[in-house]
């Protein structure tokens, strides 16, 4: 593969993807120890999507996603400490310990969730894009959803409005082949999800989501189109989760052979090989990154363990009323 991306980009991808992988592995371990409770959906295997999207966007661009949100939150800059604390339900969590695994949030980082209702974030993503257009910014919204959410009615309603209003949004379907335990082929006759854009005359493409270079290329094209007032794009990024849908899913609906086939395409291994073979990065330098990531994850656990629980009076905060709501004008 030609050296289209710099050594620094590959180093960034390697460290980021490894951090997401190790964070999720640790979260799974802690879940088994009952340190983390409730629903928990791991991002293991899908890290190249987050890495490529980060390279293709700017800090003020907005991300919004579904409940498999740990990876994108950390990639966008929400700290691993606040993410682990949120998994623990601690007051120092990124959602004050009230959201848990499915509802990570980072206003400062332009990460707007973490949404537990399947497909709900699709409409909200278009709303965020409308707000950016209304305010006259050049920011673009990346709205992520899964292959299961692609069958929700809100998708077509949102696509229609996004095209009608020419909104700066990139709709990204992270197609990991299974909606919980239901394969794409069992949910629709339209197996190529990117073709759902055709009914709305929306530009669309299919992307190999196991390769960060491909993700970055495709997302950059779509982001540039949106930033230049060219409107929405649908990208079907074909990826794979190595674990079950959630921690309670043994994933018996797929074969070991299928899983191993995708593990042979592991994006972290791919980037590591590029660094070693094309950029002649030493094994010692790789090991240094590995150790830094290990230390960061362990620090996040210590932080979560030592953080306080939310006060009882937090129960009635952040629910219905914001007294200084800025958009009500008498």
> Please, which pLDDT band fits residue 3 given cuts at 50, 70 and 90?
low
Q: What is the mean pLDDT of residues 179-191?
A: 87
Per-residue pLDDT tens for 111-154?
Answer: 999 999 999 999 999 999 999 999 999 999 999 999 999 999 99
Residue 181's pLDDT is 87
Confidence (pLDDT) at 295: 98
3-class SS of residue 130:
helix
Counting residues of the chain whose pLDDT is more than 70, the rounded percentage is 98
* Least confident range of 94-103, 155-164, 254-263: 254-263
Say yes or no to pLDDT of 285 above 70. yes
Q: What is the pLDDT of residue 2?
A: 46
Question: Has residue 51 got a pLDDT over 80?
Answer: yes
pLDDT in tens, 20-31: 999 999 999 999
Q: What is the pLDDT of residues 242-265, one digit of tens each?
A: 988 898 888 889 899 989 998 999
Scored b (16 or more CB within 10 A) or e, 44-62 reads bbbbbbbbbbbbbbeeebb
Single out the residue of 275, 272, 211 nearest to residue 6, CA to CA. Answer: 275
Q: Which residue has the tokens 């055709």?
A: 198
Phi, psi of 175, deg, nearest 5? -85, 100
The model's pTM is 0.93
Tokens of 273: 């090989």
> With the CA atoms of 294, 296, 299 and 303 taken in that order, what torsion angle do they form, in degrees rounded to the nearest 10?
-140
% of residues, the chain, pLDDT over 90? 85
The CATH number corresponding to 7-304 among 3.40.50.300, 3.40.190.10, 3.90.850.10, 3.40.50.970 equals 3.40.50.970
Which pLDDT belongs to residue 328?
Answer: 66
Strands 62-64 and 141-146: parallel
- Which band of pLDDT confidence, cut at 50, 70 and 90, is reported for residue 189? confident
Looking at the predicted structure, is the pLDDT value of residue 1 above 60? no
With 0-12 / 13-18 / 19 or more C-beta atoms within 10 angstroms meaning exposed / middle / buried, residue 289 is middle
Of the candidate ranges 33-47, 110-124, 209-223, 248-262, the one whose mean pLDDT is the lowest: 248-262
Integer CA distances (angstroms), 219 to 74, 112, 228, in order: 19, 19, 14
Please state, in angstroms and rounded to a whole number, the distance separating the CA atoms of residues 257 and 255: 5
> Are residues 90 and 308 in contact, defined by beta-carbon separation less than 8 angstroms?
yes
| pLDDT at position 55 over 70 | yes
Query: Residue 69: in which H helix or E strand, if any?
Result: none
Is the model's pLDDT at 4 over the cut of 90? no
- Termini Cα distance of the chain: 61
Q: What is the mean pLDDT of residues 186-191?
A: 88
- Pairing mode of beta strands 178-179, 182-183: antiparallel
pLDDT reported for residue 210 = 97
Q: Are 149 and 119 in contact (CB under 8 A)?
A: yes
Domain ranges (residues) in the chain: 7-304
């Amino acid at each position: 593969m030609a050296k289209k991306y710099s050594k620094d980009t590959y180093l960034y991808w390697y460290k980021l993807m490894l951090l997401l992988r190790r964070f999720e592995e640790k979260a799974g371990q802690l879940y088994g120890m009952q340190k983390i409770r409730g629903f928990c959906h791991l991002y293991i295997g899908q890290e190249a999507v987050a890495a490529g999207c980060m390279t293709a966007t700017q800090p003020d661009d907005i991300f919004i996603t579904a409940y498999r949100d740990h990876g994108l939150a950390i990639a966008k800059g929400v700290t691993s400490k606040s993410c682990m604390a949120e998994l623990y339900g601690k007051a120092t969590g990124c959602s004050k310990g009230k959201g848990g695994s499915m509802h990570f949030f980072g206003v400062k980082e332009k990460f707007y969730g973490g949404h537990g209702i399947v497909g709900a974030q699709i409409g909200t993503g278009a709303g965020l894009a409308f707000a950016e257009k209304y305010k006259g910014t050049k920011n673009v919204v990346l709205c992520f959803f899964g292959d299961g959410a692609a069958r929700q009615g809100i998708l077509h309603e949102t696509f229609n409005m996004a095209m009608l209003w020419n909104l700066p949004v990139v709709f990204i379907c992270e197609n990991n082949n299974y909606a919980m335990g239901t394969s794409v082929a069992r949910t629709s006759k339209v197996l190529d999800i990117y073709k759902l854009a055709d009914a709305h005359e929306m530009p669309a493409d299919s992307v190999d989501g196991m390769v960060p270079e491909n993700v970055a290329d495709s997302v950059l094209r779509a982001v540039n189109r949106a930033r230049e007032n060219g409107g929405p794009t649908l990208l079907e990024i074909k990826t794979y989760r190595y674990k079950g849908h959630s921690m309670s899913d043994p994933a018996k609906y797929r074969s070991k052979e299928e899983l191993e086939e995708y593990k042979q395409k592991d994006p972290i291994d791919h980037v590591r090989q590029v660094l070693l073979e094309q950029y002649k990065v030493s094994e010692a330098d790789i090991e240094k990154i590995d150790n830094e990531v290990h230390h960061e994850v362990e620090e996040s656990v210590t932080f979560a363990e030592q953080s306080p629980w939310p006060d009882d009076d937090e129960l009635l905060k952040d629910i219905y009323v914001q007294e200084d709501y800025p958009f009500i004008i008498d």
